[in-house]
Chain A
Amino acid sequence: MKRLLLLMIPFLLCGCSHDMNRQEIDEVDMIHVLGIDWSGENYTLSALYSIGGGADAESAKVDIIQASGNTVYQAYENLKLKNKKNITLAQTSYYLIGEEAAKNGIDYCLDFLSRDETIKLESFVYITKETDASTVLQDGVENELLINEDLEALSQKQLETLTRNDNTILGLLNEMEQSYSSILIPSLLYDEDSFLIEGYAVFDHLQLYDYLDGTTAMGVNFVKNIVRRCPIYISDTVGLLVSNTKTKLKTNVKKGIITVTIKIDFESFIKEVNTEEDIFTKDKLDELTNSQNNYIKDMIDKAINFSISSNLDIFGIARMIEIQNAKEWATAEPKWSENIQDLNYVFDINSKISKSFMIGNAR
């Protein structure tokens, strides 16, 4: 029996090797960035891949290939047909979704990807604001930009201000399951051969609804407790760097009124002083502390105002109520979209100004 089993293993493995994506690494073109656009009739995929391999910047050359289809999957299959070598999404780290494709529905773009076992679930998704993904990629190639490296630098930069990047495929697929909250994906502004993340693209029922500007987006980040550091500027005289933020959201449902308590604790460092006045007195520091609390509150207020005006749950409060007030959620759930505008927000912001790392008084 033992021998039979040992003999069977090679045969079984031989059988398996036929359908296990067997392809030599040098026989495939690895797509680094995939752009997805919707033209009103069909989807266009723009794939950016390296020519001749190589990880060093000098030898790395990129090319772009495009194909269209009625669906993203069809476009991908056409892309495969058009390319000389086989292509793979196994090394695709960035997916750019054009504004039109985002308006048509993010689910159409991500469904094919979610079913492909080779993709990296930690790949980042961005929305190209006011333009197509193909335009961004083509411009980049024409201007000899290494877009994949620029995007990598951008995602690294994101982590300087945020504790985590939520715009991964896995993160988005998870968010898509929360039907009561809207999805937020960083929007990419392409201008004069450079990229900039400018706030979030906000989705309503998986379709692009609007964009949040940088300040409002930071307000959302504060509520979501993902801020690592954030510069704030108080009255043109003092610049501070906020860090060590800790946000706790608490929901309370009483007599049908939903109250959301946002408790934020943070520290800040004085980074710049443009005044002759001594700001390191107790009174002045207290005043500065109040000012920075109000500054943060204003940012969050902006986000709340957007939420109320758009009637979208951009903070994921629905999920919070479901967890913290499961019983009340059962009654609130059917008319949740009406409740968003009636949510009662309570702030509890505490902060302190820590050591300013002042080497000497320049003034």
Chain B
Amino acid sequence: MSQVINSKEIKELFSQSGDVLVRPIHINHKNNIIISVFCVDGLVNSDLLDQTILRPISLDQGLKACMDEKSVLNYLLEGAAYHAFASETNDYELVLKGVMSGMAALLFDQEKKALLFDVRTFDKRSISEPSDEGVMKGAKDAFIEVMRTNTALIRRRIRSEYLVMEQMSVGKVSKTDLSIAYLSNVADMNTVNKLKDSLKNIDIDSISTPSFVEEFIVDNKKSIFPQAMYTQRPDRCCSNISDGRIGLIVDGIPFVYLLPCQLPMLMQSSDDYANNYIISSSLRIIRYLAMIGTILLPAFYIAVTTFQNQMLPVQLALSIQKAKLGVPFSSAIEVLGLLLAFEILIESGLRLPKTVGTAMSILGGLVVGQAAVSAQLVSPAVVVIVALSGIAGFTVPNQDLSSAIRIIRFGFAILASFAGFFGLMVGIILLVTHLCSLDNYGVAYLSPFVDIESMNHKDTLFRFPVKYFKMRPDGIADKNKRKQK
């Protein structure tokens, strides 16, 4: 049985919390009508609370004429309180949740009801430039940690009556708000319902970090590859929502998840749509090549220097041979060791303050690298290969995909050190098989590459001119598949 609204019980419940305010207000001494204000200091805008709720309550003569709580409640609802967002409820949980999220409640003990007023305020970051997805040409705003601001940023760009923002809360303790944004006349409702089911089934205490949501909404939890794309950019989010994808906005997380997610999406950069399509296509091809390079280059080096050196041109083989003379380790150990050192360098750079991080990179990358070569601990060729592989990895626009690739290249290097190109091929087969087996909300992860029927390749390897983007991506949009004539 649910609890009833009672100010004494609530006061008792929060007796140890100094920031929670439960204050009685006498409306009519004669009839002993006492209501209570229930709010959290710091979450409510006290000026707004004073001016729009408490001041009318104190001064309004009509209220004093009310004979019971019911008439006070109705009087306030009918306009005595100068506030647009007021709602009546007898749901104890809703009152608690509302107040904990920054609303103010007037508690009516006899009526066992409450009036909720949206007087939320809290310190928030202003809208700034996206830190990860900056563009030269294009919008400079980015999502922030406040869900309502983020929904407003989307709503500002999609002024369609079909844009739906379904709100939910997740987390037994944190009761984090989240919003599912989609176009009801385009999006596949099966996907929307599936996402809602996934969110409803989340049974954890709090949503404190992105992966607390992410791990519950992806289909293949054991895969290293990101299956929910995130973006800091409202323009990118809106373009995907208008394609039929679903945006998931979580309060406290300064980006929006986009579902279903396919690999080609993760290789697209916001710049692709800001530049000339020929430039964008060229850069995209370079990005794909860099991705392949970063995975295969260390393994390829191990394979050719340990097993199949006939694949190298004579001059290159001789150069590598000379560079390796005197180095006590095998190529495989050299490459794996340096890859590990590279990861340590990245990790330490992230943990340190920015200024120290830069110095750390210089110290680690240049000084230690040079010293290691001079001390003949590693050959210069391996330093070049690992550096190239590392730099190529940073061309991948999505950080999650980039991290996945960084891990995978270790696997490839190990396979190549066992069996050269044979191992490399085994790795490629396993990787391709895995990627082909991934399915995300009913859409293949490698779609449209693996979609035989689809001819919608106009925004995959190449970025065609916008006039050719006639259809929405296959398998994403359920209705209104045509975008333009």
Contact = CB atoms under 8 A, between A and B. Distances in A.
B325 A91 contact: no
A13 B315 contact: no
Interface stretch (B178-186, B336-344, B413-421): B413-421
Q: Could you tell me the dominant secondary structure of chain A's interface residues?
A: loop
Contact of A119 (B305, B310, B430): B310
A34 B430 CA distance: 41
B162 to A, nearest CB: 43
Contact of B307 (A10, A22, A50): A22
A13 B319 contact: no
A25 B418 contact: no
Interface in A1-47: 9-10, 13-14, 16-17, 20-26, 28, 30, 32
Contact of B314 (A9, A14, A32): A32
B317 interface: yes
B322 A22 contact: no
B318 A53 contact: yes
Nearest to A148: B314
Most interface-central of A55, A88, A120, A148 (chain B CB within 10 A): A55
Interface in B305-357: 305-310, 312, 314-325, 327, 330-331
B306 A23 contact: yes
Contacts of A90: 308-310, 317
Given A9-B426, A24-B305, A25-B306, A53 B418 contact: no
B318 A54 contact: yes
B306 to A, nearest CB: 6
B319 A25 contact: no
A195 to B, nearest CB: 18
B324 to A, nearest CB: 4
Nearest to A93: B314
B369 interface: no
B75 interface: no
Interface string A248-262: 000000000000000
A53 B310 contact: no
A118 interface: yes
Contacts of A14: 418
B327 A26 contact: yes
Contacts of B423: 13, 16
Interface residues of B, number: 31
Nearest to A121: B310
A21 B308 contact: yes
A60 interface: yes
Contacts of A25: 304-306, 309, 317, 320-321, 324, 331
A22 B318 contact: no
Interface in B286-311: 304-310
A312 to B, nearest CB: 35
B321 to A, nearest CB: 4
Contact of A16 (B309, B314, B318, B419): B419
Contacts of A93: 314
A123 to B, nearest CB: 10
B310 A118 contact: yes
A231 interface: no
B422 interface: yes
Contact of B325 (A26, A32, A88): A26
B64 to A, nearest CB: 75
Contact of A17 (B304, B316, B418): B418
B426 A13 contact: yes
A91 B317 contact: yes
Contact of A24 (B312, B331, B419, B420): B331
A16 B420 CA distance: 10
Contact of B310 (A17, A20, A60, A120): A120
Contacts of A23: 306
Contact of A30 (B317, B327, B330, B426): B317
Nearest to B414: A10
A205 to B, nearest CB: 31
A59 interface: yes
Contact of B420 (A10, A22, A54): A22
Contacts of B331: 24-25
A52 interface: yes
B197 to A, nearest CB: 27
Contact of B422 (A20, A26, A28, A91): A20
Contacts of A55: 314-316, 318-319, 322
A26 B324 CA distance: 6
A119 B317 CA distance: 14
A17 B305 contact: no
A13 B310 contact: no
A174 to B, nearest CB: 20
A14 B423 CA distance: 10
Contacts of A88: 309-310
Contact of B322 (A13, A53, A119): A53
Contacts of B304: 25
Most interface-central of A14, A60, A91, A93 (chain B CB within 10 A): A91
Interface in B397-421: 415, 418-420
Nearest to B311: A90
Given A16-B422, A52-B325, A90-B310, A24 B330 contact: yes
A54 B319 contact: yes
A337 B370 CA distance: 69
A53 B306 contact: no
A10 B418 contact: yes
B422 A60 contact: no
Nearest to A120: B310
A354 to B, nearest CB: 37
Contacts of A59: 322
Contacts of B312: 91
A16 B418 CA distance: 8
Most interface-central of B310, B320, B322 (chain A CB within 10 A): B310
A20 B420 contact: yes
Nearest to B310: A90
B481 to A, nearest CB: 36
Given A9-B426, A17-B419, A24 B317 contact: no
Contacts of B325: 26, 52-53
A20 B318 contact: no
Contacts of B305: 24-25
Interface in A47-99: 50, 52-55, 59-60, 88, 90-91, 93
A-B pairs, 9 with minimum CB distance: A53-B322, A90-B310, A53-B321, A13-B418, A26-B324, A54-B322, A55-B315, A55-B318, A25-B305
Given A25-B320, A118-B310, 7 more contacts: A13-B422, A16-B423, A20-B422, A24-B331, A25-B309, A53-B324, A90-B317
20 contacts: A16-B418, A21-B307, A22-B420, A24-B324, A25-B304, A25-B305, A26-B321, A26-B324, A26-B327, A30-B321, A50-B318, A52-B322, A53-B319, A53-B324, A54-B319, A54-B321, A55-B316, A91-B314, A91-B318, A148-B314
